[in-house]
Structure 1
């Protein structure tokens, strides 16, 4: 009898690694399938693993990965549900909170996104992504003082943050502090070719468009046009440059030139519906 019990015990112990290994194999296969963009297969592997070990604490990661797969497939409601399941298991998991916040923001649910970013900052007060995105949300909601506090904290942590400095310049512009906004952008543009910042050509082009927007607000149209020309020279695919230049042309009654720029923006991916009214004004 003792021998039978021992045999059963050993058999039971021996089966545990097999289940664990199978769970791990399924998890690994899901990752590999995701990397190969085989999202349906990846989801199937994850669901099999979850069914195999529903109480495994690592299921937080599986649910998070499942949410990301569903998000990539534009199954947003299911993605939110999966991220929430993941957070029920691991409520302080920063990457999962950031993923759900980003999805809320993508869906236009700014308040819910802000709550998640705030939860991240309750855990890690210096989290750069959460500071940046919460500042962006505050700015969209016109809570400029809160936005400024987040941008300033971000820049205290990382003074060379491209998105942080650009966001602060945008905030200054929205508050009508044009000289302060220009000061930020002028410093960033002046760093071109130096060691202070390692920006891409596309990022410099974006800075010129941002500065053109401020110059246009200040009625310095000639300066704005010069910056837009430079932006397009640096990055001919920058739709915002064509849209802004087209609107300036339209205000100058140069309808043919305006139409050309709006059509160029459409050819680069701007939905035709977004510029339909502007094109109508070019007739």
Structure 2
């Protein structure tokens, strides 16, 4: 009886996750459709390129996402979010120099924007530049917003793991 209950509960959870993922996938596809229409009407709308790029990123269409982030930056060179998102893709592709360049651009545009610091710390950590990673994580913690509490804890843990102090 206990196994049956565990099995049923597991199936219920799996089904709910699958439904939620499918709903989110549909939502991303809808966003892509809407943003494509907006871009067709106004090809200079940097926000539409950013939002469509984020939807492409969710759908694992990284090349299309980078193209849209490039266009957003081209249209609005002061768009910190576009640099952050493009940098994140470069980070995941292990193109660390490009990632750090984009994170630095986002930080320069908005020094209180905490997420580029965190991602830049990850890029340094991946390259085994541990002291730079520690310093960058500290900058992230100093600039983090209250809603970034989980990222702050992750940064603190990374600092400790890398042998630094908070």
Equivalent-residue separation in structure 2 for 1:165 and 1:156 (angstroms): 11
Equivalent-residue separation in structure 1 for 2:72 and 2:138 (angstroms): 33
Please list, as runs of the form range in 1=range in 2, the aligned pairs for 1:190-269 lying within 5 A after superposition: 191=142, 197=143, 199-200=145-146, 202-213=147-158, 215-216=160-161, 218=162
Contact 1:148-1:168 at 8 Å conserved across structures: yes
Count of aligned residue pairs for this structure pair: 144
The higher radius of gyration belongs to 1
**How much does 1:110 deviate?**
1.1
Question: 1:240 maps to which residue?
Answer: none
* Selected match of 1:171 from 104, 123, 126: 123
- Say whether 1:119 aligns with 2:64: no
TM-score (norm 1): 0.45
Please list, as runs of the form range in 1=range in 2, the aligned pairs for 1:173-188 lying within 5 A after superposition: 173-188=125-140
Q: Structure 1 residues 181 and 126 mapped into 2: Cα distance closer, same or farther (>3 Å)?
A: same
**How much does 1:116 deviate?**
0.2
Gaps of 5+ in 1: 1-70, 192-196, 228-283
Q: Structure 1 residues 187 and 139 mapped into 2: Cα distance closer, same or farther (>3 Å)?
A: closer
Contact 1:182-1:214 at 8 Å conserved across structures: yes
Please list, as runs of the form range in 1=range in 2, the aligned pairs for 1:62-211 lying within 5 A after superposition: 74-189=26-141, 191=142, 197=143, 199-200=145-146, 202-211=147-156
Q: Structure 1 residues 209 and 73 mapped into 2: Cα distance closer, same or farther (>3 Å)?
A: closer
| 1:163-221 CA-partner distances (Å, limit 9, x unpaired) | 111111111111111111111223444x4xxxxx4731x524422323323543x4x6x
Gaps of 5+ in 2: 1-22
Runs of 4+ off more than 4 Å: none
**How much does 1:106 deviate?**
0.9
| Relative contact order higher in (CA < 8 Å, ≥ 6 apart) | 2
Contact 1:92-1:123 at 8 Å conserved across structures: yes
TM-score (norm 2): 0.74
**How much does 1:79 deviate?**
3.9
